[in-house]
Structure 1
Amino acid sequence: MKKYADHNRRFVEFIRGELVMVKVPNSRLSKSSRGRDPRLMQKYVGPLPIIKRTRMVAYEIELPSW
């Protein structure tokens, strides 16, 4: 089964300085998001620059001061 699942998977590698969009759960966006329809809320934040690659699939990104 894994063979078939990985067949169409595309592995993406990012480099330092590249801009990425980050998917954030609705509860993490803001306290004012309570009571709003989650379908209308922002799902991604960014673009944010990559600072460094920490592991094979983990990257450190520069977060704004919210």
Structure 2
Amino acid sequence: MRTAQRRQKSYADHRRRDLEFSVGDHVFVRVAPMNGVMRFGKKGKLAPRFIGPFEILNRVGALAYRVALPPNLDGVHNFFHVSMLRKYVLNPSHVLSIEPLQLSPIMKYEERPIRILDRQERRLRNKSIPMIKVRWQNHSDEEATWEAEADIRTRYPELLGMS
């Protein structure tokens, strides 16, 4: 049993990377969609989301950092574990468009569709499925997704009433 544990630990240690940031580095902070709300048909581990970049103000303990958050996130505690952070590599040609994101105090948000961009029918062997291209809140037109019209009709009936 001990040999198997040692082997599993060696696999885990090989894949783990130790992250360490210094004061002044920029990082992305992880947020998650609200419970029960599906984002692009995926939930849980498949739909992680990072916001930022934010500057690290100082290190607090071995694995925690204090991050400079904007005023619209003043309800969020500004100390984060290293597992909630991703390093941002500064690139002068990288232009960031900061869109206001409504977060709850527990760093979660809800995705809402804004409008329908296009319609089409997907043909299968025996039936056709009406699909609509939906633009989501906090996303650009390039990030719009094709969704089944029946799903959107049940989850967001007000959206189909507008088009």
When the two structures are superposed, what TM-score results if normalisation uses the length of structure 1? 0.72
Q: Deviations over 1:5-38 (max 9, x none)?
A: 11121111100010000111223xxxxxxx6x52
Structure 2: gaps spanning 5 or more residues = 1-7, 42-46, 73-163
Equivalences for residues 25-44 of structure 1 within 5 A: 25-27=32-34, 37-39=38-40, 43-44=49-50
Q: Could you tell me which residue of structure 1 aligns to residue 22 of structure 2?
A: 15
SS in 2 for 1:44: strand
SS in 1 for 2:10: helix
Structure 1 vs Structure 2: percent identity of aligned residues?
36
Q: Structure 1 residue 42: deviation in Å?
A: 8.2
Q: 1:12 to 1:42 in 2, by over 3 A?
A: closer
SS in 2 for 1:38: coil
Q: Could you tell me which residue of structure 1 aligns to residue 64 of structure 2?
A: 58
Question: One-letter code of the match for 1:20?
Answer: V
Question: One-letter code of the match for 1:43?
Answer: R
Q: Distance in 2 between matches of 1:47 and 1:57?
A: 19
Question: One-letter code of the match for 2:26?
Answer: L
Q: Distance in 1 between matches of 2:15 and 2:28?
A: 22
**Larger strand proportion of the pair:** 2
> Which stretch has the larger CA shift, 37-46 or 49-58?
37-46
Quick check: which has more Rg, 1 or 2? 2
How many residue pairs get matched?
59
Structure 1: gaps spanning 5 or more residues = 28-34
Higher relative contact order (CA 8 A, sep 6+): 1
